[in-house]
Structure 1
Amino acid sequence: MRAVHIIFPVLRGARKFKIEKGRRWSVIEHLILQALATRPRSARELSEDSGGLPRRVIIEAITRLMRAGWVELLSSGSTVVFDATNIGKARSVDQELPSAITPTNKWRSFQIDAHTGAAFRVGDLTTLHYNAVPQTTDEQIVHFLDRPAIESEDLGEIFNAIEGQDELIVGVHPSATRLSRTNGIVTYRHGVPEGIPSKAPKAFVDFIENEYAKVRELEKTLPEPSRPAVAAATRESSDNSYLFDNTDLILDGKGHEEALSKLIKSADTRILIHSGFVTTNVDAVLPKLLAAAGRSVRIDLFYGQDEAEGARTSSELAIEHLKKKIAGTGVREMFHIHPFSTESHSKIAIADDRQAGWTAIVGSCNWLAADYKSFDASVRLRDPRLVGQLLKILGKMAKGRVGVWNDTNVAGLFVLGRSVERLPAKGGRKAQIDLLFTGDHAPLVMEAARMARERVFVLSHQFGIAGRPVTIFPLMDSAKSSGIDVSVFYGKSSGKRGAGKMTAEELLDLRQRYGEAGLVLRSVERPRLHAKVLGWDRDEIAITSFNWLSVDPNDQKPLREIGVRIKSNRIAEQFLQDFDRAQW
């Protein structure tokens, strides 16, 4: 068996990071201190009261608390018990325990795999100059991967890779230095890889193993006496159970207007809104935002409309209008309006609430452009792990060109996102939830067509030619072969008159032909349909910014469309009932 060298493109860079050094207190340590503040307890009692937490963990936590002077040792007969000191009792009621943190600034170098975005410390990957790349011979095969045009590096990946023990990166100094290019190499000898870092992310490991499998598949045509089978990568099922209740669905215009008002009114320190477009309809939201700014709530606004060649977009003009309105209010410093388009069609609103915690709303509503008279669909996310991911995604969308970190606010979103991710989730019902990105939408239609047993339904703002191979054809085939009910609703035909826009006669003909194949195509005009939803059977639904019936996602940017897939008891059935009631 010949050796196989996988050569892949790597970006290398160095930045000056703002780092806080020192171990932070864990949630477990905080809970133990709170328990001891109520009454003295032994280690055994603490273990029992915690539901079976290992004694070793209890002792380690108490040891740290004693070193801080917050817990003391007492004797109660033959039993050793622990009690909170007066200072410890005072600290136990704090929202977070104060840590002995030392701030510092350090230069750190890093490497990024250009295909998966996985980040590593310099030295973790074996790299070599292009001139030193080996050649394919009788003894070895060289598999060289082209360099993709990645949109931007993931700061969260970089932070995770270069943080040392008891370190937390809280910021990064702006830098216009571009990342340099080099090549990484992983070598397989007798099926065993050399050069994959021990702490490599699963996405990177899977990517390299898939490339190796491709080489072995092609090599089958060559005379080779022995070819042990390449072991397939074992994919671990990720924990996608998050806080959710079916009441977290937000539907119709009034529902979205009320949800945004509540989000803004309840915000404690931050409000972040990403709208695909901005129009002068933002004037209706502005008084609520100004009131929040008056409470010292920081407000970050982003828009995604593509920047036009040689002309200003309607969103840019509306942003200028908004800036003029804010300029004379006295709270201008509380607003940060992102200076350029994120080129994302997604719609996201995020804020923190002193009582409810961090909340995000993801779906179809253009928060800074809507008149709140259309039928939109969104999902309220209350699990800090999901909200933290979305904050980091906002940072990635807003960062701009690869390697240019010219806005400290952007790096701050990564730091904030990582902090929110680590917050404890509140109790409540849960559901299986996955965030959806551009490339996830087309495969999800195929899955719905394959897995549905009773029905599939689709809602899309627009209906056009591009959406037929993505959505219509797979569902039509499923309707034919499985006999399931397929219903497709749209708001309007996409395109301009005379340039791809279908006439009424053409639409009527399509409805008839689709109907003969078992697919019901129907336009919805009252209320105006702006929701983007895919659902099947009773328990599966996806709510997103993606127009299922008018967009081909293959050539889109990874973060251009963002949505949520949910599996929850009767959620699809409930949605259809609410949608039926909303139609006039």
Structure 2
Amino acid sequence: MNNIYIPAWHYRAPGIVQRTWGWSPVEEMILLSLDRSPGTIDDISEALKIPRQVVGSTVARLMQFGLVEVRLSPQPVLATSSVGHDFIRAGRALPERTADREIGISVVYEKVGQSVFRTRDVDTIAVTKLPAKGAIITFPKGEPPETHYSMMQRVNQFMVGALRPGEWLRGVQANSSFLEPRFLVLDLDEVRDGVLRQGASDQLVEALKATIKTGVLPKTTTPPADDPAPIETRFDADHFVVGSEQHLHRFEQIVGAAKSNIFVLSTFVASQSDEKGKENRERIWRSLEDACRRGVRCHLFFGTSLDRAKHATAMQELFLRLSAVRQTRGYLQVQRDPVGSHAKFLAADDGQDGAVVIMGSCNWLSSPFSAVEVSAELREGNAVAEALDLLRAIISKLSSASRSVETLQFMASELRRQRSLLSRPEASQTPTAMMTVLHAGDHERLLRVAAHEAQERFICCTNRVGANMVPALFDPAEVAGRRLSDVRVYYSRRSGPVKRGHVTRHRERLNGIVELAGVPEPQLHAKFLAWDSDHVVVSSLNWGSASGLDDNPLDEIGLYFEGQGLATSLLKKFEAENH
């Protein structure tokens, strides 16, 4: 036997598959009949000429979904409920019926052609049992190993088309998954004879044929990095959250509406004894307490690795406070290890089968809510699902967050399945924008493109200016300022070695080209970029003091929106706060 040994990863996890199905003509006929003329099961059977047993079982299903009810006065009859009546009058589709089933998922992902095989279709061998000699391809050096999160992504792609009609994969149960490195064993003689395993990629087949021809072993490959793809979404000026009070108000509203899950990622966490802004933060704490009281699961994270013990202690204090409200185990998913990201998230279900995400500059668990903040609120399903995926990728590095990772996966999957909502008439009335996710390294590139391409104005707001302020921000602003009459850079704080005199000298040098506006109070904690009338980036990145690195893409997250009048609208809100 002429075997070749290819590095691979074996992944095993329970998967949750949901079957969805609509309503039959019989069910719709009975619902319409009861809406026109309430009656008994015998009345319906006689009027529609349908067997009584069929009517009885159908009415039971309709009652299960709250579409039919029993009215006792003046005599007991079946009738459509207010919910069923509304569905009929509004012409809305009846609520789908669903049923979940658990399946066992076991796959092998190989590192040469990036094929995904069912484990039962291939032979693998443990790393410790590899032969001393032979056609062995080693695992790539310096490349990070596969993770439960990355394998979850591969499973989602693998399962497309592999399920029964009407079924879709909601996700996998991450807290019960298993992952280990192994070697895929393939017989080159079988490959030469055209015997290929189901799932083999064209890339793997070509690599093996080349090995048979030349005797040279193939090399492992790395999946190409995906460039951020624009998403068409519903987003207008009302979705910009500007100012501390508006952030507090939206937090209370969103957390107050949630029925199942709330996620908060804040760079820092304030101690319960911190007096600065305590009155405002109490509104945050009380909102979370109310959510716990209602049985909503609260998933809380912090980002920074600086002063790790301090923020872990503060998170423990918050955990104890919320635990006192509801003792039931599992409702508080509070992490005391940092996720290593400067991004800030508030995410929750909206209580109406949808979800909402706010991303931007606000440190929800530490802010005194006295500075000017700017965030973007996402409510349209595709955009929210993308944001939930980002949050899931950020927190997946924590093994203790597997339950939170799983919940985010299920929420995003459900939102994508419901993306047909975009075609509803009422949805089309909302202005449309294009949204692109920016990872850490994307920010500087886009800022420079904007500086060269802006035609009317170029405005950037950064909380801090630091050692890299000139190449990162001032130089691109100068490029724009030599063409445009309205170029502004707002900031509030200096960091690192930068002193007041350093900024003053650049202000004088750029006089008449770029307006450098230092605003000490109210502090500008907002981080955004706006140019012309339609282009806006809302971010967590301090444009004038931090550098987004390609090797840590989730350290900073920005959202780039292109839509009619968005920049004009945001600047108007910002200037009203910064008067």
Same fold (TM over 0.5): yes
1:391 to 388, 393, 397: 388
> Which SS does the other structure have where 1:525 is aligned?
coil
Match of 1:494 in 2: 495
Match of 1:520 in 2: 515
Match of 2:16 in 1: 19
Amino acid across the alignment from 1:347: K
1:543 equivalent to 2:533? Answer no
Alignment of 1:172-183 (within 5 A): 172=173, 174=175, 179-180=180-181
Count of aligned residue pairs for this structure pair: 478
1:251 to 242, 255, 279: 242
Match of 1:292 in 2: 291
| Deviation of 1:564 (Å) | 1.4
1:440 to 419, 439, 442: 442
Alignment of 1:241-390 (within 5 A): 241-280=232-271, 281=278, 282-306=281-305, 312-331=308-327, 333=329, 334-355=331-352, 357-390=354-387
Label 1:464 to 1:236 Cα distance change in 2 as closer, same or farther (>3 A).
closer
> Which SS does the other structure have where 1:24 is aligned?
strand
| 1:350–1:358 contact (8 Å) kept in structure 2 | yes
| 1:244–1:431 contact (8 Å) kept in structure 2 | yes
Alignment of 1:72-111 (within 5 A): 86=59, 93=84, 96-99=95-98, 101=99, 103-111=101-109
Matches of 1:284 and 1:528 in 2, distance apart?
21
TM-score, length-scaled by structure 2: 0.70
Matches of 2:509 and 2:377 in 1, distance apart?
38
Amino acid across the alignment from 1:103: R
Matches of 1:328 and 1:110 in 2, distance apart?
45
| 1:362–1:378 contact (8 Å) kept in structure 2 | yes
Residue ranges of structure 2 left out of the alignment (5+ in a row): 1-5, 35-47, 51-56, 68-83, 88-93, 187-195, 204-223, 272-277
> Which SS does the other structure have where 1:271 is aligned?
strand
| Deviation of 1:519 (Å) | 2.0
> Which SS does the other structure have where 1:317 is aligned?
helix
Matches of 2:365 and 2:152 in 1, distance apart?
28
Matches of 2:230 and 2:550 in 1, distance apart?
30
Match of 1:469 in 2: 471
Amino acid across the alignment from 1:433: M
Amino acid across the alignment from 1:491: S
| 2:538–2:559 contact (8 Å) kept in structure 1 | yes
Match of 1:224 in 2: none
| 2:527–2:540 contact (8 Å) kept in structure 1 | yes
Matches of 2:25 and 2:440 in 1, distance apart?
41
Matches of 2:553 and 2:377 in 1, distance apart?
22
| 2:357–2:384 contact (8 Å) kept in structure 1 | yes
Label 1:356 to 1:246 Cα distance change in 2 as closer, same or farther (>3 A).
farther
- Greater shift after overlay, 255-264 or 560-569? 560-569
> Aligned-residue CA RMSD in angstroms?
4.5
Label 1:529 to 1:184 Cα distance change in 2 as closer, same or farther (>3 A).
farther
> Which SS does the other structure have where 2:20 is aligned?
coil
| 1:488–1:522 contact (8 Å) kept in structure 2 | yes
1:422 equivalent to 2:417? Answer yes
Matches of 2:26 and 2:544 in 1, distance apart?
54
| Deviation of 1:158 (Å) | 2.6
> Which SS does the other structure have where 1:330 is aligned?
coil
TM-score, length-scaled by structure 1: 0.70
Label 1:237 to 1:16 Cα distance change in 2 as closer, same or farther (>3 A).
closer
| 2:315–2:336 contact (8 Å) kept in structure 1 | no
> Which SS does the other structure have where 2:175 is aligned?
coil
Residue ranges of structure 1 left out of the alignment (5+ in a row): 1-8, 41-72, 76-83, 135-143, 186-194, 206-232
| 1:456–1:484 contact (8 Å) kept in structure 2 | no
Amino acid across the alignment from 1:507: V
1:577 equivalent to 2:569? Answer no
| 2:267–2:344 contact (8 Å) kept in structure 1 | yes
| Deviation of 1:470 (Å) | 2.9
Matches of 2:564 and 2:29 in 1, distance apart?
37
Matches of 1:406 and 1:270 in 2, distance apart?
14
| Deviation of 1:175 (Å) | 5.8
> Which SS does the other structure have where 1:285 is aligned?
helix
